[in-house]
C-alpha cells in the first residue's frame, strides 16, 4: 500500500482514501487552480495506526520522501532557521464530522526560525504573530490545553496595550505573548513547547488520527450510522500567509447565495488575517464584493475560479482562499451546504444552465427540505427584521409560533383551554410536561440540545421548538424569562419563537403561511408571472418526481375535509381511514350503548343506530375520493377507549353511593369498565378480535361501506372501496371475517342490483402476521403494513410511552440516531416487511402491497418501501408532497 499522495496524484473521486478535503485539493490542483503544494496521508495510514497503536514504519519513510520533495520544490526546509518552510496540518475524513481535530497552522516555527521568518518577510510583527498562533492552536488541538487559557491571555495583552484588535498588537507585545503562551504549555503539560519542526508535524498528524476516536466523533458516527473503521486522512499543505499586511487577507466564498440560491457574489473577506480569524469572528469581515476595490486582480481571478469550480462540480461550491501579498491561493473547496429554499432553486437553475439533468435535480433536493418549506414562517416583509430578538437557541423543530409566555404545564393547559395561545417556557422538559407541550403552540427551553426531551418530543408532535437558548435565564419561581440585555419577559407577555432558525423574540411577530403550501393548496399558481421563484422551482421538481416515481402515494384520512386536502396535495387515494375516529364526539354514547347491551335486542338497536351515521361518513369520503381507492379499516382500538376513565368513574359512583343516589347507568358503566379493563390493552381485545367476539359489529361496518358504495354508484359516482381488517395474526381470523363479509356484500349487491367491486385485505402489523404472510395472502386481496404496531410489537416498545420516557437516553447513547417510530428500522422491522412482501406475492402474484404506518411519510423509509417493491405508501395529508418527492427520488 501507498500511504501518502501528493496533491497532484489524487482526484475528487478518492474521498474514501484521501478524505473530502484532500480529494478536492487534488481536484483543484488538477484543474490548474493555484493550490499551495502539499500532500495527503491516507485514511489507510490512519487505520493502520489505530489498529496497532503505532504509525507504520513505512508511513514515516513515505512522509519523509514527500516532505523532501516539497522542500526541494519550495527551495527551503521545514523549520529551517534562516528561511523556514511552514506547513498546515488539517484533518479530512470522507464525511465531515463534528468532534474531530481540525487545523494547526504555521508548523515549523520555533524560537530560532521565527527570526528567519521575520528576516525573510521583512516583517517582525508578522513572524511573532504567526508563532503565537502556532502555540495557541497546537496547545489547544494537539496538546489538549483548554483554548480559554490562551484566549484570556490574548485578551489581557490587548487590554494592557489598549489594543482593540489583535492587529493593533506590536511585534514586541506579540513576543511577550509568545513567552506567556509557552509558559502555559509548560505548566499544563509539564513539557516545553516542542522546538523540532518534524516532531511538531508528527505530533499534529498523530493528534488528527487520535481525534477519529474522540468521544464526540464516536457518538456522531453511532447516531449517523457512519462506520467506525473508515479513519481520517491528514493534509499537509505548505503555508501561504494572509497576515502579511494590508495586501494580504483571507476569506470564504460561495459560488451563489446559499440562503436563496441567487447567483452573485457571496462571501466574507478579512484583510491581514489568517484563516481561523474569519470563522472565530475576531474582527469584522467585509463583504466579498469589497475585495474588488481592495485588490482587483485577485478579485477577478477569484470570480473566474468560482465559475470554473461551479461548472466542474456542477453545483454550488464553497471556498476558502488566502491572498498573500497580492497572490491568490485556494485552500479548500467542497460542494456547499445550503438552505432548503436554495436547494430547490439551485437544482432548477442548474437544469436550465444545462449542467445537470432532471434526475440529478431530484437527487439534489430532499423531503425534509420540502417539509421545512411547508411550515408557516415569520413574515419577512412584515417586520421580522425589526422584531425584538432577545435570544437564540437551537432550531429543534421547525415552524413559527407566537403565544403568551407560560412557565409550567399546568398554566399552559389552563390557559389554552380558555382559548389563549401559549408558548411553554421551561429550563428543560420532562415527561410530566407532555400535556403542557401538547397544549402549547411552541416550546422554548434554555438547556439541552437536539436530542433533549423537549426537542425529541416536539418533533414527534410536530410542534415548533427552540431548545438550549442558554443566554436566556428561565426563572420558574418568579415566572419570568431574563434576556442578556436586562429585558424580562413575564408570564402572559407575548413571545415569538422560530423553530427553523432558533431565534426568540419578545412580542408578536406576524406569521404568514408558507408559499409552498399556498401552492399545493391551489391558492398560488406556479405559472403566474409574479409567482414566487421558489414556488416555480418546487412545481418543476414535483413534476419530475411524479413522472418517474413508481410508488403511488395515498393519504391517511378519515373525513371528507382531510380527504379533499389530501387530493389537492396529490394523494392517489386513501390508504387508511381509521373508522374509530367516526365513533367519537356525540356518537360515543351510541358505542357505549353497544358495549352495555345485555340482550341481543339492545345490541341490534345500538348497531342499527350507528349504521346510517357510518354510511353517511363513507358516502362523503367516497365522493371526495371519487375514482380513487379508499381503504376503510374496521374498528381497531380496545373498547374501553370509548368508556369513561376508570378512576374518574369509580370516584363519581362512590360519591353518589355515599349520597345514596347512584344512578343505574353509571353502575352498569362501571361494571363494564371493570369487565373490559386490561393490563395491556394494546395486546388485548382490539382489532379483528373485537370483530370476532362482538356479534354484528364488523357486519354493521361492512354493510355501511357496501351501502355507501351502492349509493354512490346509483348517483353516478365511481367508488372504489377496500375493506381492511386490523391486527390479524393468523389466516383463520381473516377467513372468518371474509365469510361474514361476503355474505353481507352479496346481500347488498343483490338488493341494489349492482356489482360493487369491493376488495378485502388485511393489515400486517403483528410479527406473526408477517411470519405467516404466505398463508394470510391466500385470504387477502391486499396487505397494508401497519408499521406503527409492527414496530411496537417487534421491539416491545410501547408506542405511547417510550419516546417521552427513555428515548432521549437511547439517542444520546447513540443506540439509534432516530426513533424507530419515525424512520423504519430496516434491519429488524424492515426485514419482516421485506420477507412478508415476498411471501405474500409468492402466494398471490397480484397481491397489492402498501404501508400506512407513520413511516409512509418519512423520507428515508419511503426509499426503503420503494426498494422492497411496495405499490404505495400512505401518510397524513401534509406529508403527501414529501412522500411524492421521495418516491421520485427513490426511482430517479
The verdict on 498 binding ligand PEP (CB under 6 A) reads: no
- Pairs from 115-120 (Cβ < 8 Å, separation ≥ 24): 115/81, 116/80, 116/81, 116/82, 116/83, 116/84, 117/83, 117/84, 117/86, 119/82, 119/83, 120/82, 120/83
403: contact with Mg ion by CB under 5 A: no
857 part of the interface to Mg ion, by CB under 5 A: no
Q: Is 852 a catalytic residue?
A: yes
Rounded distance, CA 680 to CA 673, Å? 14
Question: Any known ligand binding at 789?
Answer: yes
User: Would you count residue 577 as binding ligand PEP (CB under 6 A)?
Assistant: no
- Scanning 56-64, 173-181, 785-793, 857-865 for contacts with ligand PEP by CB under 6 A, the matching segment is 785-793
Out of 140, 707, 765, 781, the residue judged to bind ligand PEP by CB under 6 A? 765
DSSP-based helix, strand, coil % in the chain, nearest 5: 50, 15, 30
606 binds, among Mg ion, ligand PEP, none (CB under 5 to 8 A by kind): none
Name, in order, each residue with C-beta under 8 angstroms of 154's C-beta and a sequence gap of 6 or more. 132, 136, 166, 177
Please, which residue, 615 or 791, has the CB nearer to Mg ion?
Answer: 791
Q: How far is the CB of 687 from Mg ion (least distance, A)?
A: 7
Q: Does 850 bind ligand PEP (CB under 6 A)?
A: no
* The only residue of 629, 786, 881, 888 in contact with Mg ion, by rule CB under 5 A: 786
* Least distance to ligand PEP, CB of residue 788, Å: 3
Does 636 contact ligand PEP by CB under 6 A? yes
Residue with cell 391517511: 556
- Is 633 assigned a ligand-binding role in the annotation? yes
Least distance in Å: CB of 152 to ligand PEP?
56
Rounded to an integer, what distance in angstroms lies between the CA atom of residue 486 and that of residue 331? 43
Q: Binding of Mg ion at residue 638 (CB under 5 A)?
A: no
User: Looking at beta carbons only, is 575 or 719 nearer to ligand PEP?
Assistant: 575
Q: Which does 576 bind (CB under 5 to 8 A by kind): Mg ion, ligand PEP, none?
A: ligand PEP
Q: Which of 690, 650, 669, 684 is closest to 598 using CA atoms?
A: 669
| 789 binds ligand PEP per the rule CB under 6 A | yes
Is the CB of 365 or the CB of 576 nearer to Mg ion?
576
The answer to whether 656 and 663 have CB atoms below 8 angstroms apart is yes
Q: In whole angstroms, how close is the CB of 849 to ligand PEP at the nearest point?
A: 14
Report the residue number, 113 or 861, with the smaller CB distance to ligand PEP: 861
Task: By CB under 5 A, tell whether 877 contacts Mg ion.
Answer: no
Place of cell 423574540: 505
Look-up of cell digits 478579485: 299
Only one of the segments 314-322, 328-336, 356-364, 782-790 lies at the binding site for ligand PEP (rule: CB under 6 A); that segment is: 782-790
Q: Among the options 46, 465, 852, 875, which is catalytic?
A: 852
The answer to whether the CB of 267 falls within 8 A of the CB of 256 is: no
- Binders in 723-762 for ligand PEP, by CB under 6 A: none
Nearer to ligand PEP, 502 or 853 (CB): 853
Q: Three-state SS across 31-46?
A: CCCCCCCEEEECHHHH
Helix (H) or strand (E) holding 238: strand 232-238
| Contact with Mg ion (CB under 5 A) among 789, 803, 822, 825 | 789
587 is in an annotated binding site: no
803 binds ligand PEP (CB under 6 A): no
Task: With beta carbons less than 8 A apart as the criterion, state whether 232 and 93 touch.
Answer: yes
Specify the long-range contacts of residues 10-18, CB closer than 8 Å, at least 24 apart.
10/40, 12/313, 15/94, 16/43, 16/94, 16/230, 17/42, 17/43, 17/44, 17/233, 18/42, 18/43, 18/92, 18/233
For 841, half-sphere exposure in the C-beta direction (CA atoms, 13 angstrom radius) is: 12
* Residue 147 to residue 139: CA distance in whole angstroms: 8
Task: State the nearest-atom distance from the C-beta of 883 to ligand PEP, in Å.
Answer: 15
- Distance CA(515)–CA(685), nearest Å, equals 46
Cα dihedral 664→667→669→674 (10° resolution): -160
How far, in Å, CA of 531 to CA of 675, rounded? 61
> Measured from the CB of residue 781, what is the shortest distance to ligand PEP in angstroms?
18
Tell me which H or E stretch contains 232.
strand 232-238
Count of residues touching ligand PEP (by CB under 6 A): 10
Q: By CB under 6 A, what part of segment 525-544 binds ligand PEP?
A: none
Among 66, 133, 334, 578, binds ligand PEP (CB under 6 A): 578
Q: Looking at beta carbons only, is 629 or 786 nearer to ligand PEP?
A: 786
Residues of span 361-390 touching ligand PEP by CB under 6 A: none
Residue 625 near residue 563, CB atoms below 8 Å = yes
For the bound state, the minimum distance from the C-beta of residue 853 to Mg ion, rounded and expressed in Å, comes to 7
Do the annotations mark residue 786 as ligand-binding?
Answer: yes
Choosing among ligand PEP, Mg ion, none, which partner's interface includes residue 787 (Cβ < 5 to 8 Å by kind)?
ligand PEP
717 vs 767 by CB, closer to ligand PEP: 767
- The interface region with Mg ion, picked from 191-199, 246-254, 574-582, 787-795 by CB under 5 A, is 787-795
Give dist(CA 887, CA 536) in Å, integer: 20
Catalytic machinery residues: 453, 852
Q: Which residues are annotated as a binding site for Mg(2+)?
A: 765, 789
Residue ranges that bind Mg ion, judged by CB under 5 A: 765, 786, 789
Residue ranges that bind ligand PEP, judged by CB under 6 A: 576, 578, 636, 765, 786-789, 852-853
Amino acid at each position: 500500500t501507498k500511504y501518502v499522495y501528493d496533491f497532484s496524484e489524487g482526484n475528487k473521486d478518492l474521498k474514501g482514501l484521501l478524505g473530502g478535503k484532500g480529494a478536492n485539493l487534488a481536484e483543484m490542483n488538477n484543474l490548474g487552480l493555484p493550490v499551495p503544494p502539499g500532500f495527503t496521508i491516507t485514511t489507510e495510514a490512519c487505520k493502520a495506526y489505530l489498529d496497532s497503536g503505532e504509525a507504520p514504519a513505512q508511513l514515516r519513510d513515505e512522509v519523509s520522501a514527500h516532505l523532501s520533495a516539497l522542500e526541494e520544490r519550495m527551495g527551503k526546509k521545514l523549520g529551517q532557521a534562516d528561511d523556514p518552510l511552514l506547513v498546515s496540518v488539517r484533518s479530512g475524513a470522507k464525511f465531515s464530522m463534528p468532534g474531530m481535530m481540525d487545523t494547526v497552522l504555521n508548523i515549523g516555527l520555533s524560537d530560532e526560525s521565527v527570526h528567519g521568518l521575520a528576516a525573510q518577510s521583512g516583517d517582525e510583527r508578522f513572524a511573532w504573530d504567526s508563532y503565537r498562533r502556532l502555540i495557541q492552536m497546537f496547545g489547544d488541538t494537539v496538546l489538549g490545553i483548554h483554548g480559554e487559557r490562551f484566549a484570556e491571555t490574548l485578551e489581557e495583552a490587548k487590554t494592557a496595550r489598549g489594543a482593540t484588535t489583535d492587529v493593533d498588537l506590536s511585534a514586541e507585545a506579540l513576543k511577550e505573548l509568545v513567552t506567556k503562551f509557552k509558559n502555559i504549555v509548560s505548566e499544563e503539560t509539564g513539557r516545553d513547547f516542542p522546538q523540532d519542526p518534524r516532531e511538531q508535524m508528527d505530533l499534529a498528524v498523530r493528534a488528527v488520527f487520535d481525534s477519529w476516536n474522540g468521544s464526540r466523533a464516536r457518538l456522531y458516527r453511532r447516531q449517523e450510522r457512519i462506520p467506525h473503521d473508515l479513519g481520517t486522512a491528514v493534509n499537509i499543505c505548505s503555508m501561504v500567509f494572509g497576515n502579511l499586511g494590508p495586501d494580504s487577507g483571507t476569506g470564504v466564498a460561495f459560488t451563489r447565495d446559499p440562503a436563496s440560491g441567487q447567483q452573485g457574489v457571496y462571501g466574507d473577506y478579512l484583510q491581514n488575517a489568517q484563516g481561523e480569524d474569519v470563522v472565530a469572528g475576531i474582527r469584522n469581515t467585509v463583504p466579498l464584493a469589497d475585495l474588488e476595490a481592495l485588490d482587483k486582480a485577485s478579485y477577478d481571478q477569484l470570480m473566474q475560479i468560482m465559475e470554473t469550480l461551479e461548472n466542474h462540480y456542477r453545483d454550488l461550491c464553497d471556498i476558502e482562499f488566502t491572498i498573500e501579498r497580492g497572490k491568490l491561493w485556494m485552500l479548500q473547496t467542497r460542494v456547499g451546504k445550503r438552505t432548503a429554499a436554495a436547494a430547490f432553486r439551485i437544482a432548477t437553475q442548474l437544469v436550465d444552465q444545462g449542467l445537470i439533468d432532471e434526475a440529478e435535480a431530484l437527487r439534489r433536493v430532499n423531503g425534509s427540505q420540502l417539509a421545512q418549506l411547508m411550515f408557516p414562517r415569520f413574515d419577512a416583509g412584515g417586520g421580522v427584521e425589526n422584531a425584538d430578538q432577545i435570544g437564540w437557541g437551537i432550531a429543534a423543530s421547525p415552524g413559527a409560533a407566537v403565544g403568551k409566555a407560560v412557565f409550567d404545564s399546568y398554566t399552559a393547559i389552563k390557559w389554552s383551554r380558555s382559548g389563549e395561545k401559549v408558548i411553554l417556557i421551561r429550563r428543560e422538559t420532562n415527561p410530566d410536561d407532555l400535556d403542557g407541550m401538547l397544549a402549547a403552540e411552541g416550546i422554548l427551553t434554555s438547556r439541552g440540545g437536539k436530542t433533549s426531551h423537549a426537542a425529541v418530543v416536539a418533533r414527534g408532535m410536530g410542534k415548533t421548538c427552540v431548545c438550549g437558548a442558554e443566554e436566556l435565564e428561565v426563572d420558574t419561581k418568579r415566572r419570568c424569562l431574563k434576556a442578556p440585555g436586562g429585558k424580562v419577559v413575564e408570564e402572559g407577555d407575548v413571545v415569538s419563537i422560530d423553530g427553523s432558525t432558533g431565534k426568540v423574540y419578545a412580542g408578536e411577530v406576524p406569521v404568514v403561511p408558507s408559499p409552498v403550501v399556498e401552492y399545493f393548496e391551489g391558492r398560488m399558481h406556479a405559472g403566474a408571472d409574479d409567482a414566487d421563484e421558489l414556488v416555480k422551482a418546487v412545481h418543476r421538481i414535483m413534476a419530475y418526481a411524479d413522472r418517474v416515481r413508481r410508488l403511488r402515494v395515498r393519504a391517511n384520512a378519515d373525513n371528507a375535509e382531510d380527504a379533499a386536502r389530501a387530493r389537492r396535495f396529490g394523494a392517489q387515494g386513501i390508504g387508511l381511514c381509521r373508522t374509530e375516529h367516526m365513533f367519537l364526539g356525540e356518537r360515543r354514547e351510541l358505542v357505549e350503548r353497544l358495549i352495555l347491551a345485555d340482550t341481543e335486542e339492545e345490541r341490534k338497536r345500538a348497531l342499527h343506530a350507528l349504521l346510517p351515521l357510518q354510511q353517511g361518513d363513507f358516502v362523503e369520503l367516497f365522493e371526495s375520493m371519487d375514482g380513487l381507492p379508499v381503504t376503510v379499516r374496521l374498528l381497531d382500538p380496545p373498547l374501553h377507549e370509548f368508556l369513561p376513565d376508570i378512576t374518574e368513574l369509580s370516584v363519581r359512583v362512590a360519591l353518589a353511593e355515599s349520597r345514596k343516589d347512584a344512578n343505574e347507568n353509571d353502575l352498569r358503566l362501571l361494571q363494564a369498565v371493570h369487565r373490559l379493563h386490561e393490563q395491556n390493552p394494546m395486546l388485548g381485545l382490539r382489532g379483528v378480535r373485537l370483530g370476532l367476539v362482538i356479534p354484528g359489529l364488523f357486519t354493521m361496518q361492512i354493510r355501511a361501506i357496501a351501502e355507501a358504495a351502492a349509493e354512490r354508484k346509483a348517483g353516478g359516482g365511481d367508488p372504489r372501496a377496500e375493506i381492511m381488517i386490523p391486527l390479524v395474526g393468523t389466516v383463520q381470523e381473516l377467513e372468518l371475517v371474509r365469510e361474514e363479509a361476503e355474505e353481507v356484500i352479496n346481500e347488498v349487491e343483490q338488493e341494489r342490483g349492482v356489482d360493487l367491486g369491493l376488495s378485502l385485505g388485511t393489515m400486517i402489523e403483528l410479527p406473526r402476521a408477517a411470519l405467516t404472510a404466505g398463508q394470510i395472502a391466500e385470504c387477502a386481496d391486499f396487505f397494508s403494513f401497519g408499521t406503527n404496531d409492527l414496530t411496537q410489537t417487534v421491539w416491545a416498545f410501547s408506542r405511547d410511552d417510550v419516546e417521552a420516557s427513555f428515548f432521549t437516553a437511547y439517542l444520546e447513547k447513540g443506540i439509534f440516531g432516530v426513533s424507530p417510530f419515525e424512520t423504519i428500522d430496516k434491519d429488524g422491522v424492515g426485514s419482516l416487511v421485506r420477507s412478508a412482501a415476498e411471501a405474500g406475492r409468492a402466494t398471490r402474484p397480484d397481491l397489492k402491497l402498501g404501508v400506512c404506518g407513520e413511516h409512509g411519510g418519512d423520507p428515508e423509509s419511503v426509499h426503503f418501501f420503494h426498494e422492497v417493491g411496495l405499490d404505495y405508501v400512505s401518510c397524513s395529508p401534509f406529508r403527501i408532497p414529501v412522500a411524492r418527492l421521495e418516491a421520485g427520488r427513490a426511482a430517479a
